[in-house]
Each structure stands twice: as C-alpha cells, then as structure tokens.
C-alpha cells in the first residue's frame, strides 16, 4: 500500500512538472503583425529540447485557422501565423 502511494505521488509530480514545461505564458511578447488575410503573433512557451519543439508545434498543427507555428528554443517564443479573426 505504501509503495502504491509513493508511485501515485511520483506520477502526480511528473504530470505537474511536465505541464509547467509546456504551459504557455499568457503574456504576449509583441504586437500582432497583420498581413493581408493573416496575423502573426509571438507567445512565450517554455520548453528545452527537440521533443518540446515537436510537442509545441504539433499541438498547433491541424488546428483550423492556424497556418503555421515555429517554436524557437533560444527565445522560448512560438511564432504563430493564423487567419484574421
């Protein structure tokens, strides 16, 4: 029973630490750039590696209205090109 409690605690800690790494900061780092029929906006998103890049960009791929997403590990910014609202 004690071992199950320890395992459950470790799983919960892992979940919370993972969501903190991938969570987007609500603060926008720049004003939107509006071009013809789309808008480009930067958002702060924390991550550290290639797997983070795939996860961040992959979560936006295929979403209706999003044309592209490019995450930069150095600046922790994802540049999102999306259709005008």
Task: Map out the domains of the chain with their CATH numbers.
Answer: 24-83 (3.30.70.100)
Q: Is the pTM of this model over 0.75?
A: no
Which of 19-28, 35-44, 55-64, 67-76 has the least mean pLDDT?
19-28
Average pLDDT over residues 44-67: 90
pLDDT value at residue 37: 80
Residue 54 pLDDT level (bands cut at 50, 70, 90) = very high
- Could you tell me where the beta strands, DSSP code E, fall in 1-85? 24-28, 33-35, 38-45, 66-72, 77-83
Mean pLDDT in the chain? 73
- What sign does the CA torsion over 44, 49, 54, 47 have? negative
Say yes or no to pLDDT of 74 above 80: yes
pLDDT top residue among 16 and 35: 35
């Amino acid at each position: 029973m004690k071992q199950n409690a320890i395992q459950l605690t470790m799983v919960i800690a892992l979940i919370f630490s993972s969501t903190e790494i991938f969570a987007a900061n609500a603060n926008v780092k720049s004003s939107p750039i509006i071009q013809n029929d789309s808008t480009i906006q930067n958002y702060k998103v924390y991550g550290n590696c290639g797997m983070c890049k795939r996860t961040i960009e992959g979560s936006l791929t295929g979403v209706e209205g999003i044309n592209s997403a490019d995450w930069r590990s150095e600046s922790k910014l994802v540049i999102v090109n999306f259709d005008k609202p």
